[in-house]
Amino acid sequence: MQDCGRMSSKASAPGHFGQRLQQALDRTAIPPGRRRTTALANHYAIARETARLWLAGRAMPELPRLIEIADDCKVSLDWLATGRGPMIVPFVGEEAGSYEILSPEEQKVLKAVRKLSSKRRQGLLAMLDTRD
């Protein structure tokens, strides 16, 4: 069974799935260009034709595979599937390994800020705001 459900026109805006998939794959070791179709097919154990359809934006993976691709590429599932929202959502939760994008110092700062009360966070933001 091939994992290449057909797309509805509603799921194609903004840009089509193939464009978003190409952008997401640019964040991975899957090479760009002509070798990408074969590499994608091999990586996800799918037919080359299925990979070609995904990259052309003529088909989309089933939801479990879409989730796997979003996780592998470290992009938002909503963005990958629909084009809505930001491409990258860096803070999902500590247990999900969402701090990979942050430096160790940034991780430490974020953890400290999360421990502050709402009032103290507002004060910190006011102090850090350099706009005049």
pLDDT digits (tens, 9 = 90+) for 61-73: 999 999 999 999 9
What residue ranges define each of the domains in the chain, with the CATH number in brackets?
5-82 (1.10.260.40), 94-128 (no CATH)
pLDDT of residue 95: 47
Contact 36, 49 (CB under 8 A): no
Taking the C-alpha atoms of residue 20 and residue 76, their distance in angstroms, rounded to an integer, is 11
In this prediction, residue 40 has a pLDDT band, given cuts at 50, 70 and 90, of very high
- Nearest by Cα to 87 from 31, 28, 26, 20: 20
Two structure tokens written together for 31: 């090479």
pLDDT of residue 116: 81
How confident is the model over 13-32, as a mean pLDDT?
85
pLDDT of residue 24: 93
Taking the C-alpha atoms of residue 129 and residue 127, their distance in angstroms, rounded to an integer, is 6
- Other Cβ atoms closer than 10 A to 35: 10
Q: Which of 38-47, 96-105, 120-129 tops mean pLDDT?
A: 38-47
Looking at the predicted structure, is the pLDDT value of residue 74 above 50? Answer: yes
Percent of the chain whose pLDDT exceeds 90 = 43
Q: What is the pTM of this model?
A: 0.59
